[in-house]
Structure 1
């Protein structure tokens, strides 16, 4: 088995372990918000594919992302280019039933921007579901490298340039350094600071916390 096919079997393929974990998380979302099918949802930093394959699709989904996306939009979705840490006025003044974000908070760029991200979440809806990988899970989830998150920046950049299970190997050292500096995993104390009124849920694997979810229902 090649290294690339190993990564695919682990996290990327539709029948991979990672895909099964995402499906389980989607079911958990539906259980946390039983009226999801009737809700308007803003997805900060997400992709439309998440909702195309979701077991329960909200009544309306508004995806906001800094990465350009193309393709035909279904009638139940909107797509906007925008920074979740400083939303354009035409988005910031809207209200939704639920703010959703999956594996984005660790990429926004430091404490100050995480505060702004949390402010966006709190201002857009009373309810939210914000997931982020847990810093102390032994395998760094973006590169699938054991303990990588605990290395100094130079060590992480070196590994990012060479580790065979990376999703997209870095082109050079500058690209590798840029990638690791834009990836900062959070612990439970940090997430609770940004979302003090939320329930902090743990997604577990083999008894260990793999990711954290700040969840708040509108009637909480």
Structure 2
């Protein structure tokens, strides 16, 4: 195992990583915010079946809407469907759930207009929501584990993406690196509050600094 892989496992990818500990803490926070979650139908926008299989919470039903749906035939409480959360297919436009859940998705949907459409879908699907996203102004960008990566011009981010050894999947192909760089656009508190004006915003901290932000209603 390379030194870079060891470092990524320690901070992000490993089962005992710092990121995994934060995820566990976030599940507990979700349970605290919604103590009747066991009786809820939840729509997960952009999530995965596997994350719900591992989750320490068990809702009555979970409907995952994602570009890359996973099989869930062997789990009677999870459904998984192909859908664009920013432009819901007709079968899901009248869907109503108890809670919309989304974890680290809104920063990937592609620009301010699509983020607004994503938020519109959240409001349309349920009265309650939990929408988490990494905080733009945390000093280490969480996808590349590179300090200040999100503030660099695109050519510099592409160069880092192709050479930085802590990247999850290095991009030797320049176009793939460009696509990956442009697929992530972190947001801050002002935009989150604008997208979810009636929500409370919770903050998750690391070393005293805001690491991620969560819109909850």
Query: Could you state the TM-score of these two structures normalised by the residue count of structure 1?
Result: 0.95
Q: Could you tell me how far 1:17 is from its partner in structure 2?
A: 1.0
SS of 1:63 mapped into structure 2: strand
Whole-Å separation in 1 of the counterparts to 2:127 and 2:72: 31
Whole-Å separation in 1 of the counterparts to 2:60 and 2:6: 36
Deviations 1:39-89 (A, max 9, x none): 000000001122112111111000111024236440001000010000111
**Counterpart in the other structure of 1:60:** 61
Asked if the contact 2:62/2:77 (under 8 Å) is kept, the reply is yes
Q: Could you tell me how far 1:171 is from its partner in structure 2?
A: 3.4
Q: Could you tell me how far 1:20 is from its partner in structure 2?
A: 0.6
| Unmatched runs of 5 consecutive residues or more in structure 2 | none
Asked if the contact 2:72/2:79 (under 8 Å) is kept, the reply is no
| Unmatched runs of 5 consecutive residues or more in structure 1 | none
The answer to whether residue 62 in structure 2 is matched with residue 25 in structure 1 is no
**Counterpart in the other structure of 2:48:** 47
Runs in 1 of length 4+ with deviation above 4 angstroms?
A: none
Trace 1:51-130 onto structure 2 (pairs within 5 A). 51-70=52-71, 72-130=73-131
Whole-Å separation in 2 of the counterparts to 1:114 and 1:87: 13
Cα RMSD (Å): 1.1
Closer/same/farther in 2, CA of residues 163 and 134 from structure 1, 3 Å limit: same
The answer to whether residue 206 in structure 2 is matched with residue 205 in structure 1 is yes
Deviations 1:89-128 (A, max 9, x none): 1112110000000000000000110010000000000000
SS of 1:61 mapped into structure 2: strand
Alignment: residue pair count: 216
Deviations 1:13-46 (A, max 9, x none): 1111111110000100000000001100000000
Trace 1:177-192 onto structure 2 (pairs within 5 A). 177-192=178-193
Query: Could you state the TM-score of these two structures normalised by the residue count of structure 2?
Result: 0.97
Whole-Å separation in 1 of the counterparts to 2:9 and 2:73: 27
**Counterpart in the other structure of 1:195:** 196
Q: Could you tell me how far 1:8 is from its partner in structure 2?
A: 1.1
